[in-house]
Amino acid sequence: MSNRPRTTTTWVQIARRIILACALLIALALFLGPVVGPVWVLPKTADGQPLCTLPIDHPEYVSERAPQYSLAVFLLCLALWVTNAIPLAATGLLALSLLPLLGVVSAKQSFAYFGNSAVFFIIGVFLLAAAMIETGLSKRLTLLLLRRFDRHPGLLVAGVTFSSSFLAMWMPEHAVAAMMFPLILEIAGCLNLEKGRSGYAKSLFFGLAFGAAAGGCATLLGGARAPLAIELLKDTYRTTGGVPLYAISFLEWMKAAMPCVVLMTILSAVFIRVFIPWEISDITAATRMLRIRVRELGPMSAREKRLAVLGIITIGCWVYLGHSVDLAVISIASAAALFAFRIVRWQAVQGYVNWGVVIMYGGAIAVGSALKDTQAMLWIVERVVPSQQVSPTWMLIIMTTLTICLSAVISNVAAVAVVLPVGFALCEAATPAIHPMAMTYAIAISAGLAYALPISAPPIAICYASGYYGMKEVPKYGIPLTAIALGCVILLIVAYWPIVGIPVTLSP
């Protein structure tokens, strides 16, 4: 049994420990500052009055220590997410408990942050994906897709890349990777591909990983990044009555992201073909195996048919009713229908749901919301970032680069939770001001396009665990492709969005 997934270079371990130690020291200083001396973080109103001096019933009032303590919680969680010193979900729970313990917000408010609609949207999506796996519908779709690409080696690798990308548009990318992984292992086995040496095996697994990671950016279903980003946008920009100023629908997200996803899927397939040498020219054994697996499927079961109908109806509702009905309502209603129509049993699907991601996701929203409500991040940004002579395009490119680099070393959901609140604070720093929706798109899309390390995205980690290639080969191919992805996002911002009417700046 290979132990490669456990190997970690010494320098990475040292870097993580240094990052964690530095962040802990800064967080501790922020925690103890108000106890032994004055408060440093004091956000102010537009006319220069500190928020803590406003009347308690004033809508902008924030207690004196709350901004500094919220920043300390943010830095602590950032360090734990980057170093993975404790599980990501545990960090989310820690954030939910620290915010009320330190008096940043009340316990009721902290848990209210967690119970937002985006968390329930992703729970519904996870349950729908679990039902596809449990009923076998996902396997049927995978085999039928790959069956069309089994004529020669190049077409099969392209088919794996395109199929994983397409499926990741409609179900979580980690579920797609986990679902296709056994089939790719079987293909590698029947072709007698040697672990660590076969370039063709590397191409198959990299195609699965790169395709799933790219496809997950296309819609709100591929991962938790997009729903998290949309929820942070809605929470950050509200009227005095609490009504969200901006909302992004299912179709609007696809409109903004799809060209980049299609381009990255094609470029991933081309990149693999050009830079990874293959040692085989005949895949007859794999073709035969795929045809046998398709025949073994037999006709669709009644459960599969009901699930297929429910899935089509759900996607149609997301697309056409998303403006008038909250996406989470549709998601949860569809999840409930799984059990009402006897498609699956709860005991059969609960193990497929990544509950850790859900908990981490809610904690990330809580931290971002606390930074926004106390104006702590805005206070920092005003002292670090110049307020003039920064164009919106350059600011978006800077934030996109920062996000994609950070996503290479931490969870892409955590990267969105860390960078997007900063991005919102920076919207006003550009001249003219950046539209918050453009910042949301740029950060959330780029967060899903990091391929440099196994921890960069779940599909990368799953495929690395196959043992068909080593740790050094992930950055060897992942870093150049990440640079290409960054170029695609920049092209999206500069050339595509202005053509289709996606605003980059706020109208004066």
Can you tell me the distance from the alpha carbon of 84 to that of 408, in angstroms, rounded to the nearest whole number? 13
Residue 12: what pLDDT? Answer: 63
Residue 4: what pLDDT? Answer: 45
352 within 8 A of 404, measured Cβ to Cβ: no
Q: Choose among 469, 458, 485: nearest CA to 177.
A: 458
Residue 410: what pLDDT? Answer: 66
Residue 500: what pLDDT? Answer: 92
Residue 228: what pLDDT? Answer: 86
Mean pLDDT per 10-residue interval, the chain, length 508 residues: 47 75 85 76 75 78 86 84 77 90 89 79 82 84 79 88 91 82 84 86 93 92 85 84 85 93 96 91 83 83 92 86 79 92 89 76 78 77 62 89 81 79 81 90 93 77 80 86 95 94 83
Q: Which domain holds residue 462?
A: 4-500
Residue with tokens 């968390």: 119
Within-domain flag for 508:
no
Can you tell me the distance from the alpha carbon of 237 to that of 255, in angstroms, rounded to the nearest whole number? 22
Q: Around Cβ 59, how many Cβ atoms within 10 Å?
A: 7
201 within 8 A of 195, measured Cβ to Cβ: yes
347 within 8 A of 311, measured Cβ to Cβ: no
3-state secondary structure of 473: helix
Can you tell me the distance from the alpha carbon of 209 to that of 43, in angstroms, rounded to the nearest whole number? 44
Within-domain flag for 505:
no
3-state secondary structure of 268: helix
Within-domain flag for 205:
yes
Structural domains in the chain (count): 1
State the number of CA atoms in the 13 A half-sphere of 78 facing the CB: 24
Residue 1: what pLDDT? Answer: 39
Can you tell me the distance from the alpha carbon of 173 to that of 463, in angstroms, rounded to the nearest whole number? 12
Residue 181: what pLDDT? Answer: 84
CA distances from 171 to 120, 217, 223 (A): 15, 11, 8
Write out pLDDT tens, residues 247-304: 898 899 999 999 999 999 999 999 999 999 988 888 888 888 888 888 888 888 999 9
Within-domain flag for 506:
no
Residue 491: what pLDDT? Answer: 95
CA distances from 33 to 27, 36, 101 (A): 10, 6, 16
Write out pLDDT tens, residues 464-488: 877 888 777 888 899 999 999 999 9
